[in-house]
Amino acid sequence: MATEFAPFPPLARLADELSTGKTTSRVLVETALERIGDPAGQGSTVFVQADADAARAAADAHDRLRAAGTVLSPLAGIPVSIKDLFDVKGQVTRASSRVLADAPPARADAPVVARLRNAGAVLIGRTNMSEFAFSGLGLNPHYGTPLSPYRRGEPGEARIAGGSSSGAAASVADGMAAVALSTDTGGSIRIPAAFCGLTGFKPTASRIPREGAVPLSTTLDSFGPIGVSVACCALVDRILAGLEPRVPARRPLEGVRLGVLTHYVTEDVEPSVARALDTALKHLEAAGAILSDVHFAPLDRLPEINRFGFSAMEAYAWHRGHIARQRERYDPRVLARILKGESARATDYLDLIAERAALMKAAEETLWQHFDAIVAPTVPIPPPRVADCDRDDATYARINALVLRNPSTFNVLDACAVSLPCHARGDAPVGLMLAAGPHRDDALLGVALAVERVLDSIR
C-alpha cells in the first residue's frame, strides 16, 4: 500500500510557527523532501525534478534572515512547487514532454517564479502534468500519472489527480509542498483542486504576467495557485500579481447574491456531486446568501463555437515545427488534440474571437452585473479511476471533454474562478466553483472566504 501524507497546514499557520520559532524553514523543507523521496509514496511521479540542494540552501538562508529580523513576506521560507511549464533559471522547461527534453536551460526565471522567489518562497521542485498542459485528466505516458488521495490505497481504485496540473495538486495533497504554482487554460487549476479535495484559484488572465512559460493558448492561459484554503490561494495570487502580500477581507455572506448556473453546467452531473452541491447551497442560503437559479442560454452554443477552439488553433501554431521534426515523441492523445487546429482557417479564428466577445458582453449584462458570484459544480463527476480513463482513445476523449466542460466555460468568459471542496469528509471529492467577471478577483476571493467558512462547518 502506498504511503499517504497529510497536507501542510495553511500558510498563515506556517508563517506563525516560523515567527514564533515552533519550526524552521529547514524543517519544513526536509519534511517536504522526505515525502518526495519516500519510495512508498508517489514523489517520483508527482515531481519531474526535485531541487533538494537548492531548497536546503534557500531554507537555511531564510532561517538566517529571520533570525536577523528580516522576513520577506508571509510566504518566506515555505516550500512551493512549480509546474513543469514555467522557466526556472538554469533548468530545462520540459512541459512534462519528451519533445523538449533537449531544450537549453532557461536563462531567467519566469516573472511569476521571480516574484515567488523574491517573496521568499523556497522552490522545492518541478511538478508533473499532462503533456503540454493539453488534457484535463493528468495522464502522462512519459513520467507517470499522479493520483488523487481518494481511495488511493484500494486495489484497482486508483483515481486520477486531474489535469493538467496533476502533480501540482498531488504535491499539495501529499504535503510535498505547502502551495503550488499552476496554470489554467480550461480548468487545469480547478479540476485537480476539485479531484484532490483542495482549493484552486484561476485569476483573470491578464492579472498575472504570462511570459516565461510554455503556452497552450495565449488567449486563455491563466497562472495561479493550488492550496489548502482560500486564504492560501489569495496570498499567493497577490504575490503573483505584484500586489501587497495580504489576504483580502472576508465579505459577510448576508445578502451576497449567488447565481446558481443551470442547464449547460448541470448536464450529466453524477448523483454524488449533485448531492454535495445541493447540501452546500442549502447551507449557504441558511447563512444569509441570496440564491437564484440562472439559465445563461448563450452557453448552450459553446460546443458549436468551440469547434476548433483557441487551444487547438494556438497550440498548433506553436507546435507545428516540433511536430514536423519529432511527431513520434508526443503523447498520441495530446498530439490528436493539437492537430485539430491544423485545418482551421484564419476566418475560423476571427469568428471565434468575435463569438467570444459576444459571449463576454452577454455575461457582463446577464451575470456579472446582477450577481456577486456565479455557482456551478467545478466538475460534474468525482475523480474517475485511472483504468477507466486509460482504456481507449474514445473513452479518454469523452471523459476529458466532460471534465473540462464546466471550468473551461469561465476561461472563455475571461472570468476569475475558484474551486472549493464541498464534500463530506470521507466521500468522493467534489468541488464547488465560484466565478465572477473579469478583474473582480479580490471581490470574488472575499466572497469565497465566507463561503469556505460555511463549507468547512458542514465538512
Residues with catalytic roles: 83, 164, 188
HSE (CB half, 13 Å, CA atoms) of 335? 16
**SS3 readout for 4-22:** CCCCCCCHHHHHHHHHCCC
Of the candidates 445, 32, 19, which has an alpha carbon nearest to the alpha carbon of residue 230? 445
Strands 199-202 and 222-227: antiparallel
Asked if 82 and 123 touch (Cβ cutoff 8 Å), the reply is yes
| Integer Cα distance of 284 and 335 in angstroms | 43
**SS3 readout for 274-285:** HHHHHHHHHHHH
Secondary structure (DSSP) of 40-68: TSSHHHHEEEE-HHHHHHHHHHHHHHHHT
- For the record, the C-alpha cell of 457 comes out as 462547518
How many Cβ atoms from other residues are within 10 Å of residue 60's Cβ?
A: 16
- For the record, the C-alpha cell of 223 comes out as 497562472
For 174, list phi and psi in degrees, rounded to 5. Answer: -100, 10
- For the record, the C-alpha cell of 287 comes out as 447563512
For 310, list phi and psi in degrees, rounded to 5. Answer: -60, -40
